[in-house]
Amino acid sequence: MEAGSCRYQFRIALLGDAAVGKTSLLRRYMAGVAEPEPEPTVGVEFYRRELQLRAGPRVKLQLWDTAGHERFRCITRSFYRNVVGVMLVFDVTNRKSFEHIRDWHQEVMANQGPNKAIFLLVGHKSDLWSTRCVSAQEAEELAASLGIAFMEASAKNNCNVDLTFDTLAHAIQQALQQGDIKLEEDWGGVRLIHKTQIPRAPSRKQHPGPCQC
């Protein structure tokens, strides 16, 4: 379907420590198949996908895959102002990546634009049960303390990957409908896409026109 059929563009960033699997999640979402272990992200990489929201319009998602290494933080911070959605990703087998989530959240909150971003906490690599060291209960408690939702996912076995992106996009749409998010001319988090009108023959009267595997 052409971009003109989309009503909005939502800009969403994936944040979290290095090697938690942000790129794997994105590539599984984009391609629908598991890919070999990707190289570490340098700076920011961009992806685009259209999505038909549940009981809502069709939207274009602009997805930002950010580097988790500290040396790239000055680059990624500059993007926080212009995002409407943030997926905070940790590795359920990496305790430190979970403990750093609060820092990532605070960093975004301190560098936001005119609207507050909608967050979703994602516990990645949920298929690695034998080496997991962060329980779903712990993650749910952290999410509750931050006032955000929590889900688990696995790019490897395609568990909840589409659902995480769908859930975040739906939450953004709801906030937009309720007036919690407002369109701002100089803000890139949400953009209204003007649908191109198809020329018509002249007429006398014009009509306006936790893991659920």
pLDDT of residue 78: 74
Would you state the pLDDT for residue 126? 97
What's the pLDDT score for residue 104?
Answer: 94
Q: What is the pLDDT of residue 37?
A: 65
**pLDDT computed for residue 113 by the predictor:** 83
Local confidence pLDDT in tens for the 213 residues of the chain: 444 488 999 999 999 999 999 999 999 999 887 666 655 555 578 899 999 998 789 999 999 987 655 544 555 667 888 999 999 999 999 999 999 999 999 999 998 888 999 999 999 999 999 999 999 999 999 999 999 999 999 999 999 999 999 999 999 999 999 999 999 988 999 999 865 444 444 444 444 446 665
Number of Cβ within 10 Å of residue 134's Cβ equals: 20
Sorted by where each begins, the domain ranges of the chain are: 3-191
- Quote the pLDDT of residue 159: 96
CA distance 40 to 129: 24
d(CA 182, CA 190): 8
Full-model pTM = 0.85
State the pLDDT at residue 40: 57
pLDDT at position 178: 94
CATH class of segment(s) 3-191: alpha beta
Helix axes 161-177, 22-31, angle to 10 degrees: 90
pLDDT for the residue numbered 212: 61
- Torsion sign (Cα): 72, 78, 81, 83: negative
Q: d(Cα 89, Cα 46) in Å, to the nearest integer? A: 17
pLDDT at 199: 43
> How distant, in Å, are the alpha carbons of 24, 41, 85, 93, 170 from that of 38?
7, 8, 23, 18, 28
Given a contact cutoff of 8 angstroms between Cβ atoms, the answer to whether 92 and 12 are in contact is no
CA atoms of 196 and 55, how far apart (whole Å): 23
